[in-house]
Amino acid sequence: MVEQSVLALEKQQGSNPVLSEGIHDWVFECHGFLHNAGLIIASFLFLLYLALQAKKSFLKLSHGRSYIIISYYASLWLVSILNLLWCFSQAWECSPGKEFAWNLLSLFTTSGMLFLEVSLLAFLLQGNSTTGLEALTRTFGISGIIVGFDILLKAIYLFAFGIPIFINSDYPTPHVKWNLWVAHKLLLTLVYGFILFMYHSRWRERLPARPAYYKYVTIMLILNAIALFACGITGNGTAFGFWLYHFTVVCYHAAYLPLLYITFLADFFQEEDLHLENVYYSEMKDAGFFEADWN
């Protein structure tokens, strides 16, 4: 009904047939209106929030002089813009002749998000020594090497072998594609599982004393475990796995950057440092970090 109304309105207005067909395909074809609108609205609202908070955030950054926070905040802005562009370009995934542009945009966008993800993991695994320029260099250096290797591997799959690892509009897809994603999701799942294991073990004191980080780790462990399961059954020919994997992709692009901001940056931009200290103290107390003092 909505589709017929749009076509009728375009016909009455005498719009350009090519433009009308492009708008129609973007809205109704490929993944559909709800898919496209959900991704765009989520990514746009988060970028709008960053813009509205930019002045206060810049003032806080200028006074805080934290190299890690400044670099991470700048990276978050860049990746958020790339992600919004990716969300707006969903029609490219189903458009003949746009495969190269879609794969290139997807490669840069997902690599940027992976860089943020790996950087936070490297930060957590360094424990309480993550301060200063040396820690920033170490954190971003490790992340850059890992993400650089990931980009090279995916570029070989995409442009040397022609395997459509970022095109999820058609099923079935090459089996070798799912082998790559199984290895990718398995590594992330193992790392998140290892950090969560450390947090609940006697080595907990070696990690940063912020329980909010480990709520983030739990969420990402669940998401990557679901994606790993989906990739595994899709590679064995299960159509439900294909749908489930695509669902995890939508969740990742719509919600990961806001989750990262809430976990790692939001408290830093609180107006009152006393409030921030109270937040840290309350979280540490709830996690049992002061039980030894009472005993």
Instruction: Give start and end residues of each alpha helix (H) in the chain.
Output: 2-13, 17-28, 33-52, 54-64, 67-88, 99-125, 132-155, 175-199, 211-235, 239-260, 273-286, 291-294
In angstroms, the CA 149 to CA 61 distance is: 31
pLDDT band at 13 (very low <50, low <70, confident <90, very high): very low
State how far Cα 139 lies from the chain centre: 18
Q: Tell me, what's the pLDDT at 213?
A: 87
| Cβ proximity of 84 and 113 under 8 Å | no
pLDDT band at 224 (very low <50, low <70, confident <90, very high): very high
| Cβ proximity of 90 and 111 under 8 Å | no
Question: Is-cis flag, bond preceding 172, omega within 30?
Answer: yes
In the predicted structure, residue 235 carries a pLDDT above the cut 50: yes
In the predicted structure, residue 282 carries a pLDDT above the cut 70: no
The answer regarding whether domain 17-270 maps to CATH 3.30.1300 reads: no
Q: Tell me, what's the pLDDT at 6?
A: 45
Which of 98-102, 170-174, 198-202 shows the lowest per-residue confidence on average (mean pLDDT)?
170-174
Q: Tell me, what's the pLDDT at 33?
A: 85
CA nearest neighbour of 111 among 74, 143, 134, 65: 143
In angstroms, the CA 63 to CA 39 distance is: 35
| Cβ proximity of 138 and 167 under 8 Å | no
More confident residue, 33 or 276: 33
Q: Is 268 exposed, middle or buried (0-12, 13-18, 19+ CB in 10 A)?
A: middle
More confident residue, 80 or 3: 80
pLDDT band at 25 (very low <50, low <70, confident <90, very high): low
More confident residue, 5 or 137: 137
Q: Tell me, what's the pLDDT at 63?
A: 74
| Cβ proximity of 192 and 268 under 8 Å | no
Q: Tell me, what's the pLDDT at 9?
A: 44
Highest mean pLDDT among 20-34, 44-58, 116-130: 44-58
Q: Tell me, what's the pLDDT at 72?
A: 87
Q: What percent of the chain has pLDDT over 90?
A: 46
Listed in sequence order, the residues at least 6 apart from 38 whose beta carbon sits closer than 8 Å to its beta carbon are: 250, 254
Task: Tell me 162's DSSP state.
Answer: -
Quick one: angle between helices 2-13 and 17-28, nearest 10? 160
Q: Tell me, what's the pLDDT at 206?
A: 80
Which of 58-72, 128-142, 173-187 shows the lowest per-residue confidence on average (mean pLDDT)?
128-142
| Type of residue at 15 | S
Instruction: Write down the domain spans for the chain.
Output: 17-270
pLDDT band at 94 (very low <50, low <70, confident <90, very high): confident
Q: Is 120 exposed, middle or buried (0-12, 13-18, 19+ CB in 10 A)?
A: buried
| Cβ proximity of 31 and 90 under 8 Å | yes
To the nearest whole number, what is the mean pLDDT of the chain? 82
The mean pLDDT value for 241-256 works out to 95
Distances 44 to 33, 54, 238, 253, 268 between C-alpha atoms, Å? 16, 15, 33, 11, 23
Q: Tell me, what's the pLDDT at 253?
A: 97
